[in-house]
């Protein structure tokens, strides 16, 4: 049984109550606590030494990443984070200076987004450092895009550039909170999520939740410099050896926004975006289709994608 099968099994029959708007399966849990026009968002995310960072990762960057991942999930609901709790699993021998540096890495990020760090706990995790972050946020009820809202005919957009993030960006990325709220404020965003497991895999979550399919246009997918030129100066990790397009489709840890809008809104959205966020690329990468499955249109034809890359070749 793999991790996904286990999660499906664990989340199949969870206790619920009337306050749950969305439980397991979206970027955040969504709760009705009685606020007149806002829901409460609730999310937790952990990073583990040897899995998400190494003993040589600068501790400030570990702290930044641990909090930024959780905030990115709030962005994925177009929400506003309010407060975070930090759980530290500390090895038996730890350097207090290292732990303080982790917090130093979190604070500027928290302050930029007005997130209060309201405590947490330390416990012993004898063999390695583990940091679990929990975040509460809120979102306007009428402006909370879910994974399940994509409609046939929608245009698919992605912010930034994809692939090769493990070379450096995964430790430095800024959660797209401001951008996501602006999108939800000004356009009817049908579906929204953040890309953490790779474009192809994460888009599939939207397709499954929305009961639709999609076709991506290979030449429209924004490929990062790290994915094009592995091992560029300043990169700390030997980057992907995948072909650049495959890296952009399947590398994880991008933490960019992936969303769909009615195709009639696409041009106006691109124009408004360029004025509002001139520094951040926004790409229309394909369209939502009624027919299930995820396909990639290249100059030579249309291929069917699975999470690992290409599997079937189909004549255009």
Show the tokens assigned to 260.
């769909």
- Single residue of 72, 132, 165, 224 touching a copy of itself by CB under 8 A: 132
Is 148 an interacting residue with respect to a copy of itself (CB under 8 A)? no
Q: Which of 123, 188, 231, 300 binds a copy of itself (CB under 8 A)?
A: 123
Q: Which residues of 276-292 are buried (b: 16+ CB within 10 A; e: fewer)?
A: ebeebebbbbbbbbeee
Measured CA to CA, the distance from residue 115 to residue 102 in angstroms comes to: 16
Question: In 32-69, which positions are buried (b, 16+ CB within 10 angstroms) versus exposed (e)?
Answer: eeeeeebbbbbbebbbebeebbeeebebbbbbbbbbbb
Rounded Cα–Cα distance for residues 314 and 302 (Å): 6
Is residue 76 a contact point for a copy of itself (CB under 8 A)?
no
Q: For residues 107 and 151, which CB has a smaller minimum distance to a copy of itself in the complex?
A: 107
Please say whether the beta carbons of 47 and 171 come within 8 A.
no
Judged by CB under 8 A, the number of residues near a copy of itself is 68
Report strand pairing: 213-217 vs 293-298.
Answer: parallel
Choices 127-135, 149-157, 180-188, 246-254; region in contact with a copy of itself by CB under 8 A: 127-135
Q: Does 93 help bind a copy of itself (rule: CB under 8 A)?
A: no
What is the smallest separation between the CB atom of 107 and a copy of itself, expressed in angstroms? 6
The verdict on 82 binding a copy of itself (CB under 8 A) reads yes
b/e code 293-303 from CB counts within 10 Å (16+ = b): bbbbbeeeebb
* Least Cβ distance, residue 2 to a copy of itself (angstroms): 10
Say whether residue 209 binds a copy of itself (CB under 8 A): no
Does 99 bind a copy of itself (CB under 8 A)? Our answer is yes
User: Shortest Cβ distance from residue 143 to a copy of itself (Å)?
Assistant: 16
Out of 11, 231, 271, 314, the only residue in the binding site for a copy of itself (CB under 8 A) is: 11
Among 57, 58, 83, 293, binds a copy of itself (CB under 8 A): 83
Site for a copy of itself in 33-72 (CB under 8 A): 33-35, 38, 40, 42-48, 50-52
């Amino acid at each position: 049984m793999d991790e996904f099968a286990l999660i499906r099994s664990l989340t199949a029959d969870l206790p619920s109550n009337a306050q749950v708007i969305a439980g397991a399966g979206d970027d955040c849990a969504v709760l009705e606590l009685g606020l007149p026009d806002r829901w409460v968002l609730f999310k937790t995310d952990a990073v583990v030494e040897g899995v998400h960072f190494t003993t040589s990762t600068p501790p400030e960057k570990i702290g930044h990443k641990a909090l930024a991942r959780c905030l990115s999930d709030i962005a994925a609901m177009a929400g506003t984070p309010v407060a975070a709790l930090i759980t530290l699993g500390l090895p038996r021998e730890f350097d207090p200076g290292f732990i303080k540096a982790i917090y130093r890495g979190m604070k500027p990020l928290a302050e930029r987004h007005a997130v209060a760090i309201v405590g947490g706990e330390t416990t012993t995790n004898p063999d390695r450092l583990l940091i679990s972050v929990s975040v509460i946020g809120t979102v306007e009820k009428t402006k909370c895009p879910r994974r399940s809202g994509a409609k046939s005919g929608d245009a698919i957009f992605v912010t930034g550039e994809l692939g090769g993030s493990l070379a450096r960006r995964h430790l430095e990325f800024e959660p797209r909170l401001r951008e996501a709220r602006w999108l939800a404020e000004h356009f009817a965003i049908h579906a929204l999520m953040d890309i953490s497991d790779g474009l192809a895999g994460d888009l599939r979550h939207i397709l499954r939740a929305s009961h639709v399919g999609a076709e991506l246009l290979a030449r429209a997918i924004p490929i990062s410099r790290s994915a094009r030129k592995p091992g560029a100066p300043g990169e700390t990790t030997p980057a992907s050896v995948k072909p650049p397009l495959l890296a952009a489709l399947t590398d994880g840890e991008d933490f960019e926004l992936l969303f769909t809008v009615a195709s009639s809104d696409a041009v106006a959205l691109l124009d408004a975006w360029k004025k509002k966020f001139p520094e951040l690329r926004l790409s229309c990468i394909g369209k939502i289709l009624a027919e299930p499955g995820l396909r990639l249109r290249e100059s030579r034809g249309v291929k069917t994608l699975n999470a690992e890359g290409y599997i079937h070749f189909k004549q255009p």
